[in-house]
Amino acid sequence: MSYAMTVRLSAGFAPTVDRVRAALKDQGFGVLTEIDLRATLREKLGVELAEYVILGACNPPLAHRAVRADPAIGLLLPCNVVVRAEGPDSTLVQALDPQVMVQVSDAPELRAVADEATARLCAALDALTD
């Protein structure tokens, strides 16, 4: 099982990050955290990396249902979405596949949550390619 859902865009990094935020919002996700991996690695290790951010996206109703089904599932929340530059006019967007939750938990109620989260994240990624 692949753990990532991926789209590649012929667009610059900054506009893609803005489009990803909007697409997530349209699907009921808010961005709770943003990690600028490029800046962090530069500051902490003195290494250079292409532009790379990790957005911690959360759909509160889905998160609530997931945590009710399995309180430990918070270890896999929020849904991480990576945006990374692959050149001046190419950007990769990846989202963690929510089906991973179903693979690591025995809670049967998580199946419906993972299915809905997957559908919403897929819709967000599809909106980027329209």
Per-residue model confidence (pLDDT) at position 2: 84
| pLDDT of residue 34 exceeding 90 | yes
H runs (alpha helix) in 32-109: 37-45, 60-69, 99-104
User: How far is the C-alpha of 129 from the C-alpha of 10, rounded, in Å?
Assistant: 9
* Average pLDDT of span 43-66: 97
As given in the structure block, the two tokens for residue 71 are 């309180």
Looking at the chain, how many residues does it have?
130
| Residue 1's pLDDT band (cuts 50, 70, 90) | low
Query: pTM of the prediction?
Result: 0.94
pLDDT tens per residue, range 19-29: 999 999 999 99
Domain ranges of the chain: 4-129
Residue 130's pLDDT band, with cuts at 50, 70 and 90, is confident
Fold for the domain defined by 4-129: TATA-Binding Protein (3.30.310)
Sign of CA dihedral 41, 1, 24, 30: negative
